[in-house]
Structure 1
């Protein structure tokens, strides 16, 4: 069984969103910089610590939104959750076989693993990640 291991908040103004989550919930937020990798402004990423490791819950990330913001008045707008898997390619095949689709194909997250974004049969977006510390 594969568990949700991470969530992401997509923001039009990431620095404004960082301040919001720090002020509203007291989250610890640090900009993530992979060693030896120069990031473009649009690739900047912030790690969100939502509480101590001794309590239930998960931590997440915050990044620049890669498309249009959800429409005003839309009934549900949510964070993107990411599911940890042992084999990304096998999991992507399972998503397709179950009627889902690939929203963004396999990509490397340096020092973290291989990530893809998918959509379920209801149009909800979620991430799938295969950990691999050697990813470049």
Structure 2
């Protein structure tokens, strides 16, 4: 393992363990990237809705790229970056993104923050019976993301 991969947490030994004690053999999410036609607008959206903090890493990355810290404790951090192809990225192109779901304490409160910040509902709130409330939204860059409120009483 190289020094850089150990620092970035992106590689481990052949048995799946890294120097940091992480089991890399399970494919656990360790980083996310949110593509945006306007990265600064996306930074403003996610910081206002979820309180994430960002750091401009554009000079290091050689492109618009903002490191994202989502909080402390268990979870993952990531980045917001310029979408290859900008606003007119070709559907079916090489990188279109993935769906990220954020755990929240109060679904309705966060849903209100999302729409107030310029997001829209993609799939309204629904119950995962006995487990949680789930729903999906579009951010200001038209990316889809979910929010998930654990609730054993959901039905």
Q: TM-score, normalised by structure 1?
A: 0.47
Higher relative contact order (CA 8 A, sep 6+): 1
Give the structure with the larger helix fraction.
Answer: 2
What is the TM-score when the length of structure 2 is the normalising length? 0.42
* Structure whose alpha-carbon radius of gyration is higher: 2
